[in-house]
Amino acid sequence: MAKKVKTYQLKVPSSTDQLEIIREFVTGVARKVGFREDELNKIELAVDEASTNVVKHAYAYDDRKPIEIQLRVEPDRFVIQITDKGKGFKPEQVKKPDMKEYLAKMRVGGLGIYLMKTMMDEVEFSIDPGRKNRVRMVKYITPETVHPTRKVS
Amino acid sequence: MNGFEVAQHNSEDGITILRLKGFLDAHTAGDLEAALQKCIDEKKFRIVVNFEELNYISSAGLGVFMGFIEDVRENGGDIKMTSMTEKIFHVFDLLGFPALYDILKTDDEAVERFAQTEKE
């Protein structure tokens, strides 16, 4: 028999006051999956950074636009997809930030993608500006990432 | 609501202590920005930021410190950070902050560090 896959979905307006709701939604499901506390922290931060980028960059703070968060719990992985219809970007042009350079240029922001990649096992962008931009992030379910009581496939 | 608060405390030796509490993200980063801007406007450039009661920080929160540090240092001051939980320190560490900022265990250590710099 095929293993059951569970999906969850949240759609909220693109606004920073939704970040808390998004974080709680995702960590709530991740906690149910059985992830350890430090993994929950990583998932929480990655989702926040991805959603913040949508609010700030894709939609330029237009709160009439929607952000969609889809979660998929597969036997060996937790998949998070965040989708918007705003302005896209070129993921390959985003480099690892050099903090000294940032400081020198007084640049703020732009650290989110680096954090997302550090926090998650897989991060992948699919960009189609104005139609569908999507970031897909994966956290593996392994004996190292979940509580011992949870069975790992 | 989780919320975020900054409490400002002025010590006798001219050092300003900002105690952060709660959740610092893109929604609440403006409150921290306002608190630091107030310090600059009041010409208080020796700043200690206490993270003991901060539960969460995202890059939007870290960005605020980067936005002010140059201005503060150009005026002979500094922003020293204290009392971070392991969770918060981890995020600062990932982005290389320990090389750029004084991150200390206690407010007393930070005050001491300011006193040392003054002697030099």
Closest CA–CA distance from residue A92 to any residue of chain B (Å): 20
A44 CB neighbours in chain B (<8 A) are: 56
Identity of residue A28? G
Closest CA–CA distance from residue B12 to any residue of chain A (Å): 31
**Pair B48, B42: CB distance under 8 Å:** no
- Cα–Cα distance, A134 to B2 (Å, whole number): 28
Q: What is the structure's pLDDT at A109?
A: 47
B72 CB neighbours in chain A (<8 A) are: none
B1, B27, B66 member nearest A108 (Cβ): B66
Residue A133 has pLDDT above 60, yes or no: yes
Q: Cα–Cα distances in Å, from B22 out to A19, A134, B25?
A: 14, 30, 10
A37-53 and B59-74 helices, crossing angle to 10°: 80
Mutate to test the interface with A, among B66, B90, B100, B103 (most CBs of A within 10 A): B66
A106 pLDDT band, cuts 50/70/90, is very low
- Cα–Cα distance, A8 to A69 (Å, whole number): 8
Buried b (16+ CB within 10 A) or exposed e, B78-108: bbbbbbbeebbbebbebbebeebbbbbeebe
B23 CB neighbours in chain A (<8 A) are: 20
Residue A137 has pLDDT above 80, yes or no: yes
Q: Do B59 and A107 touch (CB under 8 A)?
A: no
B37 CB within 8 Å of a chain A CB: no
* Domain residue limits, chain A: 6-140
Looking at domain B4-114, its CATH class is alpha beta
Contacts 24+ apart (CB under 8 A), B112-116: B113/B80, B114/B13, B114/B15, B114/B46, B114/B48, B114/B78, B114/B80, B115/B13
**What 8-state DSSP symbol labels residue A16?**
G
Residue entry with tokens 């985003």: A94
- Region of A106 please: left (phi>0), alpha (psi -120 to 50) or beta: left
Per the model's pLDDT, the better-predicted residue between A103 and B9 turns out to be B9
Average per-residue pLDDT for chain A: 88
**Does ipTM come in above 0.95?**
no
B95 CB neighbours in chain A (<8 A) are: 97, 99, 111, 114-115
Q: Do A52 and B58 touch (CB under 8 A)?
A: yes
Closest CA–CA distance from residue A6 to any residue of chain B (Å): 28
Q: Do B26 and A118 touch (CB under 8 A)?
A: no
Average per-residue pLDDT for chain B: 94
* Domain residue limits, chain B: 4-114
Query: Which of helix, strand or coil describes residue B48?
Result: strand
Average pLDDT for residues B25-32, to the nearest whole number? 96
CATH number of A6-140: 3.30.565.10
Query: Which of helix, strand or coil describes residue B34?
Result: helix
- Burial label, A6 (beta-carbon count in 10 A; 0-12, 13-18, 19+): exposed
B111 pLDDT band, cuts 50/70/90, is very high
A99 pLDDT band, cuts 50/70/90, is low
Q: What is the structure's pLDDT at A110?
A: 61
Chain B residue with the nearest C-alpha to that of A103: B66
Chain A residue with the nearest C-alpha to that of B61: A109
